Structure 1
Amino acid sequence: MVDFLRFHGNLAHLKCIILFNALCLLCTLAADGQVQRRVSGTVIDSLRDAVPGADVFMIADKDTLNTVTDNRGRFAFGGIQAENISLLIMRVGYKPYNMSYVYQEDQLNLILYPITLHLESNLLDEVIIKGRDKPIKIKRDTIEYNASFYQISENDRVEDLLRQLPGVEVDANGNAFTMGKPLVKLRVNGEDFFTNNVKDFIRQLPANIIDKLQIINDYGDEANFTGMKTGDSQKMLNLVTKAGQNNGTFGNASASGGTDDRYGLQANGNLWQGSKQIGISSNSSNTSNDAGINTNAGAGLNYRDKLSNGITASAVYNYAYIKNLSNQLNSIETVTPGGSIRNNSISKSRSTDNNNTINFNIQSVAEKSYFQASLGGSMVKRNRSSETDSKQTGLIRQDLVNNTLSNMETPNLNGNFVWARSMEKPGRSMSGGVTLSTGINQIEEELGNKIFYYNRNNNTPLKDSVVNRLVETENRSNSLTADFRYSEPLRASADSAVKKNIDFAYFFSFNKNRNSLYTRVNNSTGSNSVVDSLSSLYSSSFLLHRFAVSYRYQSKNLNYNLGVTAQPSQLTGEYKGNETKINHVELNLSPIINLSYAVSDWDNFAFVYSGTSAAPDFYQLQPVPNITNLQNVIIGNPNLKSSFTHAGTLSFQHTAENTGATLLLGLNGSLVQDQVASNVVLVKDTLNSLKQETHFENANGAYQFGSMYSYSVPFAKNKFNAELRGTWDYINMVSFANDFLNTNRNINFSQTLKLRMNQRRVTLAGSAMYNYSSNRYSIAQFRLRNVETWQFNVNERTNVGKSWVLIADVLKRINSGYDLSVANPLLINFSVEKTLLKNRQATVMLQAYDLLNQGNNLVRSISDNSITDSQYNQITRYFLLTFTYRLQKFGDK
């Protein structure tokens, strides 16, 4: 029976090919070599959703051209000389489409009505044709993975599928990365998907509805429409579903409870019917640590639908309540020409956040025009209290007890509008956009400080000093950005697949900040009064123009954009009480380079350069002392210039055609002119002791370059996979200490070996990772400690019978070089899951975390001439019982 069906399937395709060749012959008889014509169109399905990745073949006279529809289902051919053309459009899961078209007299541009592909009704799940599809394809800005090449189990999510992809990493929290960059945007079948949140939906969507996964270098919708791609890109994940799986109802509800006052409730539901998307979510949870009970609660609502053909509207609202209590240990080492300063502190903090965000968006995509408009706002309210007890030793001996109460409100409003249009002449386009934003950051702080001073000669106590202050800060910021782009096509070449354009672009940005700072202290009568020397009213503005002209070349294998930009900028500032006004004017020139070369369908080189200007932050400009931390007073410099960063990235991607072995290589580098660097100086206080003051200066010499690689080899029909990946970075940071230029040469090196086995019932993964970090300060009188970490991890998932799942995760970490006393923990997590009900939609899971109770949370950060090691005290050993009911219906299932 299977052979009979396979025979008739092949016969149907043979008829299609014969008919197509007959149409090709008719087109050949009507060729006209004197006129250059163009044809373009959009491919959709029966629900009027775009069909990306469809193969489009065009026959015009003796020419046979082919292309693939983009993420919006669009295709185009140019340089056509024949009066008659034929199109054949094919996509897995759809019936082939073929049609002939005739140009009218003097017609040069043929714009087709949307072409509808209908589902193939005779698809057989049991008939598998192997060897036709490749595991990975490289298409200009896109890496496409064939989902059928990877092993998935019945209940796997897209997250589990992503973990198998070469060059892709998903951490324990569900954040996905590739080539060192996070995946920040999600689309399904080329369309925005609900909130576009990658993390949320890769954990909800089942892996078995996915046909292909595409990781795209995204330059934005405007650039996708006009073809003018400049600057750095973001990584976007586009999921292409199997035929008939572009609609469904899915969601889940769960309740959990465990040790140490842990409990949680969570529910979400999503309705997906092609372009219509409605989602609702809510959650509430309690967790405990050494500081007390943390509480999280939230709710969200999102809606997206097509108002008419090509016009889509969406609205999103989210609310979050976060109550956080934490204990933290910090060890800070600051290097100065006279010696080092060590600060060890213990802090306890309690904070409560209320966050509201809302956004409205409307978008229209037509054959000749595109526009998008959005309006959004947010309101953040935070109440925080903290207690810090720090002991400072080394060059300065002081103890500080600090108590802080603060209230913050941050309302923000933003809106933007983007418009683009393709002109009658093929390749000619223009676009423009405007973005407005305004925001206020208001903070009220009550600061209580008690400082203990010591004799510098014998370290005996001298005296203590108590200071209580009320600090009110308000920062108002307003910004306006606008851009205009125009592209003019050059004379078409003999090869109709080649496009040449001259692009012109103008960008305008204006940012205005107004900052007020009032410091009050209690006087002898009990009332408070303003301290003029610690109060100010400061305003600054940054104006930037960017003019760009470039030459753009596009062909099947080679695409590049070469040009130059001129970026004049002006930084102005003034503050009350000083008649001197700041006015800095600068001009920066930089090239435009964006190049991609496909050596073959499995090998691709790419290079991108970008140059950007940045204004100093307002706190770096404000000349009035900020005494929030009495051991390190911050004083801005109104004479600072804006900085300019040159950055470049070179990447290479190779995939073995038959085996799927993948090699990814990346090189990156950057150089900063006039970087804003801190200058930590030691000054005498009233007791002839020393204290730190942080000032700011412009400095050159900051640069970094690094590399990354990933080599992945699947074998045994992709049931096993080995991957070797690594990174290496050299960072030269600049700062000042007591007015001396200080360089910090920071070397970071990591190496990871990962092995994975994917069987129907057993998934086993193991990894070994080594990290090394080294810092060398030019002003240091001694060799600083290097940090090394070894990490070994094994995780296993076993399906026992039809309804039981066992999951184990074991991690051993070996640390050395940290300033804080840390253990080398062995972390063991274990869970057992039972599937319930006939439809297997309910599960009960018992989870045990850190059975040996050896967990510790340790972080190292480096800034200027200081190294900070931080450790958070949290309960890491606990048990959790969770009941989950999952609603899942896609397509006709």
Structure 2
Amino acid sequence: MPKYLILLLLFPLFSFSQTLLGTVKDSLGKPLQNANVIAKPLVEKQGLKFAIADYLGRYKLELEKEVPYEVRVSYLGYKEEVVNLPASFSQKEHHFKLKETGQELKEIIITHEYTPVIVKKDTLIYDVKAFTTGNERKLRDQLEKLPGVEVDKNGGVTVQGKKVTKFYVENKPFFGGGTKLGVENIPADAVDKVEVIDNFNEVGFLKQVSDSDDLAMNIKLKEYKKKFVFGDVEAGAEVADDNGFYLGHAALFYYAPKTNVSFIGDINNIGKRTFSFQDMMRFQGGASSFISGRKQLTDLYAFAMDNTDVLENKSRFSAINFRQEINTKLDIDGYGIFSSLFSRTASESSIEYLQNSAVTFEERNSSGKNSSVLGIGNIKLNYTPNTREKWYYNGQFQSSTNDINSVLNSARDGQLSSFETLNAADNVQIKQFVEWHKQVNKKHTTTLVVNQSYDNQKPINTWLTDTEFLTGLIPLENDTFYNIQQVKKVKNNSVDALFKHYWILNNFNHLYTNVGNNLGSTQLQITEKQFLTDGSINDFASNGFGNDLDYLLNDLFLGFEYKFKLGKWINKPALYGHYFHLKTKQIASDYTINATFLQPSWLSEYEFNQSENLKFNYKLVNEFPEATRLLERYTLQSYNSVFRGNALLRNERFQNATLNYTKTSMYRGLMLFANASYTKKIKTIRNEIGLDGINQFTTPTITDNPETSYRVSGNIDKKIHRFRINFNANLSWFNYLQTINNQAVSNDRNNQSLGIKLRTATKKWPSASVSYNKSFSQFSGLTKSSLTSDRLGFDLDIDFLKHFNFKTDYQVTFNENSNNVATDYRIANAYLSFQKKNNPFRFELSAQNYLNNGSEINNSFSDFMISSSTTYILPRVVLLSVSYKL
């Protein structure tokens, strides 16, 4: 264990600092919330200390012992007050009383080098240099040192516990507004300030009437970087073993007042992804944020998140982002993305199939190769003819191909079967939307949105085997070798429109009117054929297979929302009337449903103060099934599964209620979040399952059987001296009725997880953390099963010998299933880097999975099976990389 960590754990906590408490009030004794309290050390090599007064005017400063300070308090419209503390001060409290300047200013700009944080009602502005050393490499390194800011391993950013959902550089979206590409690639020496804006709305005049939960982060560049080319390039190669691992990366930026261009390129075979799942969802979007609920039609998950759970992984990625200001009224933003992935996988599984009176065991051994290519082009026009009007046009083209070749060996009752599966899919998608926003006057504002999407998919699935399979479920003809091919042709088209009128009756009452129409259509064709060795073809269509479906669902709605405020209590009841028209045309039948529903909702929020609130949300929803669930004929899904839809399905109906509590206090160093949710389905679509050994036949049915789910989660983060301790908990309960082999079974699926994390919270010590998480899962249905998991983690980030940095993380997981079979696996990584200050070259020696763990083990269960799987992962990767900063 490093000596720094030993000292950190053994020394008394109170010996390193002393605390100054107090309040900031005006001359009448009124608290001055968000006043800045800055402690400037009067000796060299000591950092600034600061605090922000809470809603009671309280502040708390943790100061170094034996260091003299100048403590300065400032608040807009009031005269500054300064107090000097000697090195050996014994003062524990000081209360500031600020006097008004007596000047009434329309606009004021205050420049003061010792104001590290500016706090407004919904905006935080961090002066980055006040919290950093200058040795940081990327924006991520800087953000991790800002108070209240955290960056997770996937590039997600939270500020005071709330997740950043919009990311900007110089007030413009950076690569669609995701955080990962920004925090991982923007060079630290280009950043001047970080702005955090809560309840963000891209259309300024809608902020008063919209209920945005978005949290935006805007990166302000240094003046000499606003018209400059900057960035870095990196190259790395394996220096241990002989696996041929490599890494190449480039992040280049050109910023000018009217033109911005950013390029990111990456090539590696160590399982590293350049953009996160959240970024992928954003890139996949291309739809207006005013229209929600439309399901994504393509799956880009394979292109996001790091993936080391493979035997081999090759990734190529390039992206370009640009912005051009045509004139003062028109901007053009756009990005292009290309990603290519190749992976090779291997896994082993032991599965128990639970049936009414028997249990079947299967051993699987599978391997596969996956090749995927993705291209996205997006352009957005931002037109502002005047301060009260805004136009947007966004167009996106997306194309992807996925080719999978997998081999599965299945052993059951002493019989071994081998299946080779080929999957090839070409997907093309075009999305576009137009938004128009107009503030007619101070009381009336309107929004019009039209959203269109077209999707064309053609997956081809082929099963190859020398063993007859799914006997009695598919019409195979006897042959020495079986070749089954399935071809799907899917075209989806949707056009959604919304007109919304905002009427501000007065400061405490608003009335919103919504009129809209959502139209979606699907053309779906599926064929399954057996190609025999004699050259003939066995078409499954004559035996109930093959589907040809035209599907149309139209939702016409009218809604009223009434928003009113009583003191600190804000309410928004709403009532929507929906007229649904569902029409399907298939080979054997046509089906039409016309239905009218009233769907109420209620949003209620009580703000105790600026940093504490309670929010409640209730809604009643009717949801119609998607096209694939209505297929009237059989469809082959896998080597042991057949599906048939139900053309007579109607809508599901469910109620949902959520309760959220948030409290943050910089004075107490506390962040508290608690959430509770309840969902009850009144009308339910659930699959009925028929099992015969490992073979499964599934069909959906609509029932009045209720399904209920509860979830409670919470997170408490507290600073104690120079540490932060975090507790988190997630509890869920789900009860539903499942029919298996014509027997209805009441199922309970429950999960609980508890975690604790202790980490250092001072720049003077190395960054270190220790964590422990415990999770439980229980299932009760045809049988009872339970799983437990224990995860211990440790990470360390330490600077030493002036120019060196060392990082390491270690995680060990212990799993145990209901048969008391215990397994464990360990993953550890380490990074040693060297860079002289102001030197463009940086050297890093990294060791990924340096324990050379070859596999990862997981347990799981479903409605009718319990499984334990072993996934083989990348071996130890030791790279030496060199980067150069432009």
- TM-score (norm. length: structure 2): 0.75
Matched, 1:547 2:558: yes
Of 331, 349, 355 in structure 1, the residue corresponding to residue 374 of structure 2 is: 355
Of 351, 372, 381 in structure 1, the residue corresponding to residue 392 of structure 2 is: 372
Pairing of 1:470-485 with structure 2 (within 5 A): 470-485=485-500
SS in 2 for 1:354: strand
Closer/same/farther in 2, CA of residues 509 and 269 from structure 1, 3 Å limit: same
Of 716, 735, 738 in structure 2, the residue corresponding to residue 735 of structure 1 is: 738
Q: CA deviation at 1:638?
A: 1.3
Q: CA deviation at 1:204?
A: 2.8
Give structure 2 stretches of 5+ with no counterpart.
Answer: 1-74, 78-102, 272-307, 472-477
Separation in 2, partners of 1:152, 1:202: 18
Aligned 8 A contact 1:754 1:765 in 2 = no
Aligned 8 A contact 2:254 2:260 in 1 = yes
Letter in 2 for 1:809: D
Separation in 1, partners of 2:854, 2:525: 44
Separation in 2, partners of 1:819, 1:179: 42
Separation in 2, partners of 1:333, 1:167: 47
Closer/same/farther in 2, CA of residues 214 and 437 from structure 1, 3 Å limit: same
Closer/same/farther in 2, CA of residues 866 and 292 from structure 1, 3 Å limit: closer
Q: CA deviation at 1:174?
A: 2.7
Question: What is aligned with 2:234?
Answer: 254
Separation in 2, partners of 1:430, 1:350: 52
Of 268, 272, 281 in structure 1, the residue corresponding to residue 251 of structure 2 is: 268
Question: What is aligned with 2:182?
Answer: 201
Letter in 1 for 2:581: Q
Show CA shifts across 1:842-873 (max 9, x none).
21111123333336334555554445544321
Letter in 2 for 1:409: D
Show CA shifts across 1:418-443 (max 9, x none).
1111113x121111111111111102
- Using CA pairs under 8 Å that are at least 6 residues apart, name the structure with larger relative contact order, 1 or 2: 1
Q: CA deviation at 1:819?
A: 8.2
Question: What is aligned with 2:787?
Answer: 787
Closer/same/farther in 2, CA of residues 243 and 601 from structure 1, 3 Å limit: farther
Question: What is aligned with 1:721?
Answer: 724
Question: What is aligned with 1:677?
Answer: 686
Of 756, 759, 764 in structure 2, the residue corresponding to residue 756 of structure 1 is: 759
SS in 1 for 2:636: coil
Question: What is aligned with 1:488?
Answer: 503
Letter in 1 for 2:491: R
Separation in 2, partners of 1:629, 1:573: 26
Closer/same/farther in 2, CA of residues 731 and 191 from structure 1, 3 Å limit: farther
Letter in 2 for 1:783: K
Letter in 1 for 2:248: L
SS in 1 for 2:370: strand
Closer/same/farther in 2, CA of residues 194 and 611 from structure 1, 3 Å limit: same
Closer/same/farther in 2, CA of residues 374 and 861 from structure 1, 3 Å limit: farther
Separation in 1, partners of 2:499, 2:450: 9
Question: What is aligned with 1:406?
Answer: 423
Of 218, 226, 245 in structure 2, the residue corresponding to residue 239 of structure 1 is: 218
Q: CA deviation at 1:162?
A: 5.2
SS in 1 for 2:140: helix
Paired residue total: 737
Show CA shifts across 1:125-156 (max 9, x none).
xxx369x967xx874xx898897896776306
Separation in 1, partners of 2:599, 2:216: 31
Separation in 1, partners of 2:877, 2:623: 46
Show CA shifts across 1:471-517 (max 9, x none).
21111111111111112222x3xxxxx24221111231111111111
Closer/same/farther in 2, CA of residues 180 and 633 from structure 1, 3 Å limit: farther
Aligned 8 A contact 1:764 1:794 in 2 = no
Closer/same/farther in 2, CA of residues 666 and 347 from structure 1, 3 Å limit: same
Separation in 2, partners of 1:703, 1:745: 10
Matched, 1:538 2:549: yes
Q: CA deviation at 1:254?
A: 0.7
Letter in 1 for 2:725: A
SS in 2 for 1:773: strand
Letter in 1 for 2:716: Y
Separation in 1, partners of 2:747, 2:146: 37
Letter in 1 for 2:391: F
Closer/same/farther in 2, CA of residues 207 and 286 from structure 1, 3 Å limit: closer
Pairing of 1:818-833 with structure 2 (within 5 A): 823-833=823-833
Matched, 1:813 2:829: no
Of 274, 277, 283 in structure 1, the residue corresponding to residue 266 of structure 2 is: 283
Separation in 2, partners of 1:563, 1:454: 51
Letter in 2 for 1:264: L
Q: CA deviation at 1:543?
A: 1.5
Q: CA deviation at 1:736?
A: 2.4
Show CA shifts across 1:536-575 (max 9, x none).
2112122222321011235884433222122332322121
Matched, 1:88 2:119: no
Closer/same/farther in 2, CA of residues 602 and 143 from structure 1, 3 Å limit: farther
Closer/same/farther in 2, CA of residues 432 and 274 from structure 1, 3 Å limit: same
Aligned 8 A contact 2:367 2:408 in 1 = yes
Give structure 1 stretches of 5+ with no counterpart.
Answer: 1-54, 58-84, 96-119, 456-462, 493-497, 684-688, 888-893
Matched, 1:387 2:387: no
Separation in 2, partners of 1:754, 1:522: 58
Letter in 2 for 1:204: N
Separation in 2, partners of 1:270, 1:200: 12
Aligned 8 A contact 2:758 2:771 in 1 = no
Closer/same/farther in 2, CA of residues 872 and 617 from structure 1, 3 Å limit: farther
SS in 2 for 1:640: coil
Q: CA deviation at 1:328?
A: 2.1
Q: CA deviation at 1:198?
A: 0.9
Closer/same/farther in 2, CA of residues 290 and 361 from structure 1, 3 Å limit: closer
Matched, 1:622 2:627: no
Separation in 2, partners of 1:222, 1:673: 39
Separation in 2, partners of 1:441, 1:351: 18
Separation in 2, partners of 1:557, 1:290: 50
Identity of aligned residues (%): 15
Pairing of 1:628-667 with structure 2 (within 5 A): 628-667=637-676
SS in 2 for 1:338: coil
Question: What is aligned with 2:439?
Answer: 422
Q: CA deviation at 1:787?
A: 1.9
Letter in 2 for 1:817: N
- TM-score (norm. length: structure 1): 0.75
Separation in 1, partners of 2:861, 2:230: 44
SS in 2 for 1:440: strand
Closer/same/farther in 2, CA of residues 364 and 544 from structure 1, 3 Å limit: same
Deviates more, 1:171-180 or 1:566-575: 171-180
Aligned 8 A contact 1:183 1:234 in 2 = no
Aligned 8 A contact 2:792 2:812 in 1 = yes
Closer/same/farther in 2, CA of residues 822 and 620 from structure 1, 3 Å limit: farther
Closer/same/farther in 2, CA of residues 675 and 856 from structure 1, 3 Å limit: farther
Q: CA deviation at 1:795?
A: 1.3
Q: CA deviation at 1:818?
A: 7.7
SS in 1 for 2:634: coil
Show CA shifts across 1:173-230 (max 9, x none).
3344689996543234654234312111112346684645537456x64697265546
Show CA shifts across 1:313-348 (max 9, x none).
112111111111111223444433233444331111
Show CA shifts across 1:278-332 (max 9, x none).
1112222224989764321122211113222243211211111111111122344
Matched, 1:174 2:174: no
SS in 2 for 1:825: strand
Separation in 2, partners of 1:302, 1:661: 38
Separation in 2, partners of 1:741, 1:144: 58
Report the RMSD for the aligned CA atoms in angstroms: 3.6
